[in-house]
Structure 1
Amino acid sequence: MGNLGLAEMQIALASRFASFDLESSPHRSAFQWGGTIFALSLIQAQQPYAGKKTTDCANPDTSDSVLGYTCNGLNRTCQSYLVFRSQPSYNTVTSISNLLSADPTQVAEINEVPEAASFETNQLVIVPVNCSCSGDFYQNPPSKITVPPPPPPPPPSSSLTPPSPPSGSSNRTWVYVLAGVLGGAAVLLIVGVVIFCVFFRKSRKNPILVVSSNPSESFEAIAKKKKLQDESQSLDFLDSMSSIAQSLNLKMYKFEELQVATDNFSSSSQIKGSVYRGVIQGDFAAIKKGNGDVSKEIELLNKVNHSNLIRLSGVCFHDGHWYLVYEYAANGALSDWIFHSDNSGKFLSWKQRIQIALDVATGLNYLHSFTNPPHIHKDLKSSNVLLDGDFRAKLANFALARSTEGEEGQFALTRHIVGTKGYMAPEYLENGLVSTKLDVYAFGVLLLEIVTGKEASAFYGEEYMNLSEILNKVVQEKDGKEGLKQLIDPFLLENYPSELVIIVINLIHTCLKKDPTARPAMDEIVRSLSRILTTSSAFDSSSNMSWSQASTGSY
């Protein structure tokens, strides 16, 4: 992280020492307390984990250049733990302890169970292990388990082969068999033709619906846009769609319900474009009319569950169109609050902006690190970030979201380049490379917009061709404060901590690196913004500002 890491260390130094667990650290003897901290050169304030990439299951990098926690203290051993998920054959204290070379007594004690206890399948079990210095890193040496080869197959049967019948009888038998096979094939052919004709005629009258027999499989429903012929066919189709929605834990709305909720999709209920505000059972909802295939978006939103991702509560299919029912975000899109094209009076303080950025980063980190396979949003921009009544951010519009998993764990490639100009990463535009670093680049653009109050297109119109070059002046300045006045949103009226703004600018600069491998991972960004938000709360000069924050924003 370069300058970013150094500046963060300077600002968050006190809070890090306050939260450092001396009792569990193998380096507690390196600290001497008496009003002053001594021997600071013996250990870092926070133990760096060099092997953080090894915790990413989707990372194909298997190199051993990054191993783990740096062994830089006085003590050469420490007690740590690992987490094991119990499975059949390894679901007791004894079997798990033998598998992982652990002490059964300690395993039973830390999990608060007797030594003879058994665990349920998939239950998380804490297993204490002893780590020691090996080279420059703390590690627990692995052990090899030799699996015996499978037993040899049983010998062939020793029974004698029955004598063959006379040749004449054999010839007649083959004739009978051949005649039977040909006759059966002819019958099957005739039956198949009849079934095909009946099915073909029926399929011309009814919409085609392809449904997986396994609810956990991919959800794909293809419906013809041709109007249903009569009321009975329409009811049958809605019943089948309702069964699909129930298998996905989604409510299947009738179109008439949405008409009532939106006053027949009147202009007074329209939020923006094809999104309408509705009232369903006394609660506000956002109803979006979708065009084209929305099955992937429905499938993804049905799988995820996170407070920083917009929640899909139900669906409706009518007249060849999908209608998606989302939770309602009372304060509308982020773009309505940071781009001051009118005198709407909408304003966000410095602390609110950092909180929103942290919410967005947390939602992206969930997609990148906690979905299997990892997914990316692929269309991150200010209009796709919604704010609820408490100005907490939620990611929306997952129409372009996709998996980053390629062949054999490598990066995915695509020739179909889609997205929003100004937010797309260089490697995606030039080579079609798809990875989580696409979202990191787009997040850097979004964070730049949040801090400056300007749209990304405004920067591309200037003499600089690369967004990172715009920030070079601030990053390369000795203190960076002079360049901030020209860069930061003037609506903040300089009510912001300059030192923290410089850290944010450094963070944006690293997110916009042309080399995707030089950009930070989303979990690193979350940690950085968390520290910035904590310090911003202490500063909080914006708490006494007289701006009025309306609570009736658009979706």
Structure 2
Amino acid sequence: MHCFPFTLIFLSTLFIFFTFPITLAQQPYIGLATNACPRRGNSNSIRGYTCNGGSANHTCQAYLTFRTQPIYNSVYTISTLLSSDARHLAETMSVSQNTTFETNKLVIVPVQCSCAGEYYQANTSYAFQNTDTPFSIANNTFEGLTTCQALMHENHNPGHLYLGRELTVPLRCACPTKNQTEKGIKYLLSYLVNWGDSVSVISEKFGVSCNNTLEANSLSLTKAKIYPFTTLLVPLHDKPSNSQTILQSQPSSTSSSPPPSSSTHQSSNKTWLYVVVGGVFALIVLTAVIFCIHYHKGRKKDDSLSQLTVSESFENQQLGKEMKKGDGKLSEFIHGIAQSFKVYSFEEIQRATNNLNSSSLIKGSVYRGVMNGDLVAIKKTEGDVSKEIQILNKVNHSNVIRLSGVSFNEGQWYLVYEYAANGPLSEWIFFGKFLSWTQRIQIALDVAIGLDYLHSFTSPPHIHKDLKSSNILLDSDFRAKIANLSLARSVKGVDEDDQFLATRNIVGTRGYMAPEYLENGLVSTKLDVYAFGVLMLEILTGKEVAAILAEDNNKNLSGVLSAVLGEERLKEFMDPSLQSNYPFELAMFVFEIIVGCIEKDPASRPSMQEIVPTLSRTMNSSLSWEMSVNISG
């Protein structure tokens, strides 16, 4: 017996049965699930708005919003990117076709929206660039007007991306339903939600009924929360205009509630009908899918462990032992590193630290010193430091701590680093010191950029393997630097999506170590991604991960966060020292990033290359929020 032919017939029958109700239903707002790639959320709506206009070949005039970027900031470049008619775009914005807009200007873009199979979409094309990923194309280049899932579904063999490959990009648009048309609604506008936006604010901006907007997105008075970087459908009776893109006084960080509805009873009756019908349909489909899964479960194989590249666990450790046996190897090693780092005499180390006096001790075996008039941090250590020195020799990045010199004396190494005036991040988030929302996001972004540099721009790529708050140092401007690369290792020749290295030497810090590493010794860049998610969680909550798990009596971080997101416990979960001085929608968005980073399946976690631009957008929105608060305050 084959499951899928049965399912196809079964679902086709259901489709015929439910066709009429679907033509009346509105589009669901699925929020942050559109930012996943692809890890959570099985809703088909993630791929696009469902064709529900009553005709399989339905085409209509629709509108999108787009915020200008340095590259896409003119009528020509925006119309080219989104395959819009430049003349119509210029007419809509009441400008000439050669106009260049200021950065972050909200632009209304007219498009032809058509049914393509199950979904409405306005297709455009995009040439793949070297630094692109499906995630960055969807969420950064196109700002959320498409989704990673839609891109991967629309393009054959999405895993095979190369420079110049022409991708079809399905943009999120929709046409009015029969019910909406009867109400005089002629157009639907896909609005990109920004920080501080609410359904009522957006509705007022475009002069439409808040209730109509709620209904168009299958939202309600009690469920009207929307999030930045997602699309909201705005039902329009008339064509939109440039006047509706002019920024008004910034709203507060807490979304205001929509006004009461005069037709709540009527809408709720329809909503109740749609919910019941949709629920029955979903239940039946779910039953069929579960049947298929169980049928094929025994035939599936886990390929993760079959694609291991076994490596030695203790590479380079012999070098340290040999150094202790004789001066030949030591002299050769020091001579080699002298080409890149200054080699200090032990007397210089003593002078810099007042003879290694306890008054110069920062913490552990790290001393504060002065070299050539500059403050430095001097780390005293023994054993093999060759790997860390070799890695730092290849690194030149502002978000990775800089090694400036070394010294060796009687079996002890002294590593001289740049000085980070504000010390480890752990001292700030766990011990009562205050960091603002914007400072926390900047720190997270700095760490993400540093990790991306290690993963993508060092040769060979490296992973840190011990990322935690005490290994993040803050300079005088509270900019973050990744420190302590003693456990770092190369991952040369490993495709992070398909392969892992394997080790039997499990080292690191509990709570930060990814499940596949703890359980099977699997090593990839996704170890650092998992640890980064834990780090961000600690940055936002002000609590160590062990304390978070203990409070919730839950051994699974994903379970803890699901409860926070599902029950909207975010405010009580955030660091109380912030005193609610943060943009709620952006905080929720960052928690979604965290959830993605700590996925159990490493292949489902985003790469640091994907996280960096997303956090960069979050940082820009946070700065705008901070500015508006300062002005209004």
Give the shorter-chain TM-score range: 0.5 to 0.7
Cα distance between partner residues in 2 of 1:40 and 1:448: 42
Residue segments in structure 2 that go unaligned for 5+ positions in a row = 1-29, 37-45, 47-63, 94-107, 114-120, 136-155, 172-315
SS of the aligned residue for 1:446 comes to helix
Are 2:506 and 1:433 aligned? no
Cα offsets for 1:93-143 (capped at 9, x unmatched): xxxxxxxxxxxxxxxxxxxxxxxxxxxxxxxxxxxxxxxxxxxxxxxxxxx
Compared CA separation, residues 46 and 455, structure 1 to 2 (3 A): farther
Determine the structure 2 residue equivalent to 1:548. Answer: none
**What is the TM-score with the length of structure 2 in the denominator?**
0.54
Determine the structure 1 residue equivalent to 2:563. Answer: 473
Cα distance between partner residues in 2 of 1:283 and 1:503: 41
Cα offsets for 1:130-187 (capped at 9, x unmatched): xxxxxxxxxxxxxxxxxxxxxxxxxxxxxxxxxxxxxxxxxxxxxxxxxxxxxxxxxx
Determine the structure 2 residue equivalent to 1:253. Answer: 344
| Residue in structure 1 matching 2:377, options 283, 286, 292 | 286
| Residue in structure 1 matching 2:534, options 445, 451, 468 | 445
SS of the aligned residue for 2:67 comes to helix
Determine the structure 1 residue equivalent to 2:455. Answer: 368
Cα distance between partner residues in 1 of 2:69 and 2:333: 57
| Residue in structure 1 matching 2:405, options 300, 311, 314 | 314
Cα distance between partner residues in 2 of 1:533 and 1:500: 9
Determine the structure 1 residue equivalent to 2:278. Answer: none
Determine the structure 2 residue equivalent to 1:539. Answer: 625
Are 2:332 and 1:272 aligned? no
Cα offsets for 1:298-322 (capped at 9, x unmatched): 0000111111000000111100111
Compared CA separation, residues 426 and 265, structure 1 to 2 (3 A): same
Cα distance between partner residues in 1 of 2:157 and 2:317: 36
Cα distance between partner residues in 1 of 2:447 and 2:592: 18
Determine the structure 1 residue equivalent to 2:389. Answer: 298
Compared CA separation, residues 476 and 284, structure 1 to 2 (3 A): same
Contact 2:352–2:370 (Cα < 8 Å) also in 1: yes
Contact 1:349–1:542 (Cα < 8 Å) also in 2: no
Compared CA separation, residues 430 and 537, structure 1 to 2 (3 A): same
Q: Which amino acid aligns with 1:419?
A: G
Cα distance between partner residues in 2 of 1:6 and 1:388: 36
Q: Which range moved further: 15-24 or 499-508?
A: 15-24
Q: Which amino acid aligns with 2:540?
A: V
Contact 1:350–1:495 (Cα < 8 Å) also in 2: yes
Determine the structure 1 residue equivalent to 2:485. Answer: 398
Cα distance between partner residues in 1 of 2:124 and 2:350: 60
Report the Cα offset of residue 537 of structure 1.
0.4
Report the Cα offset of residue 290 of structure 1.
1.3
| Residue in structure 2 matching 1:351, options 423, 435, 438 | 438
Are 2:511 and 1:422 aligned? yes
RMSD: 3.6
Residue segments in structure 1 that go unaligned for 5+ positions in a row = 56-62, 75-216, 546-555
Cα offsets for 1:469-503 (capped at 9, x unmatched): 111123234xx3xx112110000010000010010
Structure ID, larger Rg: 1
Compared CA separation, residues 320 and 471, structure 1 to 2 (3 A): same
Contact 1:4–1:507 (Cα < 8 Å) also in 2: no
Cα distance between partner residues in 2 of 1:433 and 1:331: 35
Report the Cα offset of residue 266 of structure 1.
0.8
Cα offsets for 1:342-397 (capped at 9, x unmatched): 5xxx2110000000000000000001111222110000000000000111000000
| Residue in structure 2 matching 1:70, options 167, 181, 190 | 167
Compared CA separation, residues 70 and 252, structure 1 to 2 (3 A): same
Are 2:515 and 1:463 aligned? no
Aligned residues: 378
Compared CA separation, residues 499 and 44, structure 1 to 2 (3 A): farther
Determine the structure 1 residue equivalent to 2:469. Answer: 382
Q: Which amino acid aligns with 1:270?
A: L
Q: Which amino acid aligns with 2:67?
A: S
SS of the aligned residue for 1:284 comes to strand
| Residue in structure 2 matching 1:507, options 593, 608, 611 | 593
Cα distance between partner residues in 1 of 2:601 and 2:330: 50
Report the Cα offset of residue 279 of structure 1.
0.4
Cα distance between partner residues in 2 of 1:438 and 1:542: 38
Q: Which amino acid aligns with 1:37?
A: V
SS of the aligned residue for 1:308 comes to coil
**What is the TM-score with the length of structure 1 in the denominator?**
0.62
Cα distance between partner residues in 2 of 1:420 and 1:30: 55
Cα offsets for 1:406-457 (capped at 9, x unmatched): 6899421001100000000000001111000000000000000000000011
Compared CA separation, residues 544 and 339, structure 1 to 2 (3 A): farther
Determine the structure 2 residue equivalent to 1:91. Answer: none
User: What is the correspondence of 1:156-167 to structure 2 with a 5 Å cutoff?
Assistant: none
SS of the aligned residue for 2:383 comes to coil
SS of the aligned residue for 2:413 comes to strand
